[in-house]
Amino acid sequence: MPGRLQHKSALITGAGSGIGLESALLFAAEGAHVLLVDVNLAAAERAARLVAERSPGVQAAAFKADVSKEAEVKAAVDQAVALFGRLDVMFNNAGIMHPADDNALNTEERIWDLTMAVNLKGVWWGCKYAILAMRANPTDAARGLHTGGSIINTASFVAIMGAATPQLAYTASKGAVLAMTRELAMVHAREGIRLNSICPGPLKTPLLMDFLNTEEKRERRLVHLPMGRFGEAIEIAKGALFLASDDSSYMTGTDFKVDGGLTSCYVTPQ
Ligand code: NAD
Q: What's the CA-to-centroid distance between 13 and ligand 1, angstroms?
A: 9
Nearest CA to ligand 1 atom 6: 14
Q: Are 95 and 154 in contact (CB under 8 A)?
A: yes
Contacts of 75 (CB under 8 A, 6+ apart): 63, 65
pLDDT score recorded for residue 139: 76
Atom in ligand 1 nearest the alpha carbon of residue 72: 19
Q: Which of 129, 170, 250, 266 is flagged as catalytic?
A: 170
Pocket test for ligand 1, best of 12, 19, 35 (most atoms within 8 A of CB): 19
Q: Is 259 in the pocket of ligand 1 (CB under 6 A)?
A: no
- Please check whether residue 208 is in contact with residue 166, taking contact to mean a CB–CB distance below 8 angstroms: no
Q: Give distance in angstroms: CA of 57 to centre of ligand 1.
A: 27
Q: CB of 160 within 8 A of CB of 263?
A: yes
Please name every residue paired with 61 in a beta bridge, in sequence order, or none if there are none.
35
Query: Smallest Cα–Cα separation from 58: which of 84, 26, 33, 87?
Result: 33
pLDDT, residue 116, reads: 98
In the sheet with 9-13, reading across from the earlier edge strand, the strands are: 60-64, 33-38, 9-13, 89-92, 149-154, 193-200, 255-258
Distance CA 35, CA 76 (A): 8
Q: From ligand 1's centre to the CA of 211, what distance in Å?
A: 13
User: What sign does the CA torsion over 55, 60, 66, 71 have?
Assistant: negative
Closest CA to 11 of 146, 140, 126, 139: 126
| Start-to-end CA span in the chain (Å) | 42
pLDDT of residue 194: 98
CA distance 192 to 208: 35
C-alpha of 1 from chain center: 26
- Nearest alpha carbon, ligand 1 atom 44: 156
Task: Tell me what ipTM this predicted complex has.
Answer: 0.99
- Residues in the chain predicted with pLDDT less than 50, given as ranges, are none
Q: Is the CB of 260 under 6 A from ligand 1?
A: no
Quick one: pLDDT at residue 187? 98
- Spacing, Cα 155 to ligand 1 middle (Å): 10
Q: Helix (H, G, I), strand (E, B), or coil: what is residue 218?
A: helix
Residue 99 CB–ligand 1 contact under 6 Å: no
Ligand 1 centroid to Cα of residue 14, in Å, is 6
Cβ of 202 below 6 Å from ligand 1? yes
The residue nearest atom 24 of ligand 1, judged by CA position, is 18
Which atom of ligand 1 has the smallest separation from the CA of 203?
A: 40
Q: Whole-angstrom Cα distance, residue 89 to residue 24?
A: 11
Active site includes 266?
A: no
